[in-house]
């Protein structure tokens, strides 16, 4: 015959198992959420399109283009996990560059109203328009995948 006081041990055993299960669940959930990395190229593309338009408008109105300063600040804002390449200039003089510690400048080839830039073995072509041109290529690498956004349509 089981006495009434002997069931108390079963209660503590079940309570310990429930608490242990909850703790394991929290640890698993926190480890899972740490592994996710977000693709940011689309958001950065939208922001860069809006802000660059404002900088170019300011340059037109005040005859003072702040492109170099703007691109440096935007690259710093985007962070080190995203590479942004800029193609800037007019129909007679275009330069392509990336802000980093070495001040990397890219080679451009102008042909038939287009500028071609080669980055990591991939070619990107942009139409050259009259006046100031501002193009960009945003690259983010996550787990062997490469995500790319440009403002060329």
For the segment 36-59, what is each residue's pLDDT rounded down to a tens digit?
567 889 999 999 999 999 998 888
Which H/E stretch holds residue 32? helix 8-34
pLDDT over threshold 90, residue 110: no
For range 106-134, the mean pLDDT: 85
Phi and psi at residue 141, to the nearest 5°: -105, 125
pLDDT in tens, 24-35: 887 776 655 445
Q: According to the model, what pLDDT value does residue 74 have?
A: 93
Q: According to the model, what pLDDT value does residue 102 have?
A: 57
Q: According to the model, what pLDDT value does residue 33 have?
A: 46
Burial of 91 (C-beta count, 10 Å sphere; 0-12/13-18/19+): middle
The terminus-to-terminus CA distance of the chain in angstroms comes to 83
pLDDT over threshold 50, residue 13: yes
Q: According to the model, what pLDDT value does residue 34 have?
A: 46
Q: According to the model, what pLDDT value does residue 95 have?
A: 85
Do the Cβ atoms of 87 and 52 come closer than 8 Å? no
Query: Where exactly are the structural domains of the chain?
Result: 4-34, 41-150
Phi and psi at residue 113, to the nearest 5°: 75, 15
């Amino acid at each position: 015959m089981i006495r009434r006081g002997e069931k108390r041990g079963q209660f503590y055993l079940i309570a310990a198992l429930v608490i242990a299960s909850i703790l394991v669940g929290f640890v698993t959930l926190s480890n899972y959420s740490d592994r996710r990395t977000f693709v940011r190229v689309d958001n950065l593309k939208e922001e860069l399109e809006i802000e660059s338009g404002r900088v170019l408008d300011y340059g037109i109105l005040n005859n003072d283009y702040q492109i170099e300063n703007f691109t440096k600040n935007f690259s710093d804002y985007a962070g080190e996990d995203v590479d942004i390449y800029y193609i800037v200039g007019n129909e007679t003089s275009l330069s392509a560059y990336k802000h980093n510690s070495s001040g990397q400048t890219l080679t451009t080839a102008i042909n038939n109203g287009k500028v071609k830039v080669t980055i990591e073995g991939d070619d990107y072509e942009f139409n050259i328009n009259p006046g100031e041109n501002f193009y960009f290529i945003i690259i983010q690498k996550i787990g062997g995948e490469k995500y790319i956004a440009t403002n060329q349509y």
